[in-house]
Amino acid sequence: MKVPEGAVVQINLINDDGAGHDIAVPEFNAKSDVISGKGSATAIVFRANKSGVFEYLCTLPGHKAAGMVGKIIVGEPVAADTRQAPQIAHDPAEVGEPVGDRPAKQVTVDLLTTELEARLGDNSTYRFWTFNNKVPGPMIRVRVGDTVTVNVTNAKDSTHIHSVDFHAVTGPGGGAAVTQVAPGQTKSFTFKALHPGLFVYHCATPMVAQHITNGMYGMILVEPEGGLPAVDREFYVMQGELYTAQAHGASGLQEFSLEKLLAENPEHLMFNGSMDALTKIYDMKAQVGDVVRMYFGVGGPNLTSSVHLIGEIFDRVYDQASLTSPPLTDVQTTLVPPGGATMLEFKVDYPGRYVLVDHALSRMEKGLAGILTVEGKADDTIFHSSEAIDPNSGH
């Protein structure tokens, strides 16, 4: 909706489903009572005394994440409110090439460390620090026994030293001890991939937590000899946190807060680098009958994830991303620590929208949600409702 600057605005809310709802425009300190009876109504009135793009929403837990949110445009917002910032969110379908049944070989990995202001949400940006201009950084795939050379180049316009620590490396600092790279320089090291598994990598320049929270994390998959079995779909997802001086939902450039980082109180939580990377920017899609493999990791730097896919059960969970241990089977929710990973496999049997969450569910309100859309024919023997619903609608 669009209104003139300075106008007195009234927004009426009518309840059509009988559940509890309210409406609020936080930027103007306007908030209604909660209404719960079907057909009941309420309203908010406020003066739109500043121009910009602002959010109106239902403030009840989970309702914003379910879609009860919109934008109100006041006046003619300045260019800063609507500018197109660079997109750094990583496409979950970009998982690299499987190694297959090849022998061990020499592999070269090139990483560029950058610092850039980029899109966080529809009307917010953040100065991210990245590997290869994406958050998370590229998913790297090698084979156990490979000899891997890592070249780390720090962009000339960076203002900080950066480095990389691979959890898959046996050696000083996982490589960080020899890759403290000043702007405009390159440093390298070589390691042998001794252990199969899915491993996190991250910047390890002091203060390490600041470099990680700003976006400097990714994963390397060390496949076993012969590679992993083929599946129909693969996705690469990492969970991260941002600690900003501005509150969640604020517009404009969000500034880093050391105080909130040390208190472990993030304002923003996200999958793949932005608050809507896996709900709006990128689609995770599968067909009924597909076997899906998800490479899931936590960049952090602080919070443990209780990863859960609402409406699905993980057929196999490779706990702690160990590929040499028997997988857990028939798992609802699994723990992934910061700097840790897991590999999840499941067959999708019924169409619909399945929401990926951290089951510390209040985190959805700070941006932590993703959607897997499954298309295909519904099987009433698996799921059936007495109400007429579209299984592809998510409702």
Residues in binding site for Cu cation? 162, 167, 202-203, 211, 216, 359
Can you state the percent helix, strand and coil of the chain, rounding each to 5? Answer: 10, 45, 45
Annotated binding site: 162, 167, 202-203, 211, 216, 359
Q: How far apart are CA 271 and CA 300, in angstroms?
A: 11
Using alpha carbons, select from 269, 264, 353, 351 the residue that is nearest to residue 310.
353
Using alpha carbons, select from 315, 313, 244, 235 the residue that is nearest to residue 277.
235
- Find residue 269's DSSP bridge partners: 241
Length in residues, the chain: 395
Using alpha carbons, select from 188, 196, 65 the residue that is nearest to residue 143.
196
Residue 9 phi, psi dihedral angles, 5° rounding: -115, 135
Q: How far apart are CA 124 and CA 139, in angstroms?
A: 26
Looking up tokens 């991210």 gives 128
CA-based radius of gyration for the chain:
23
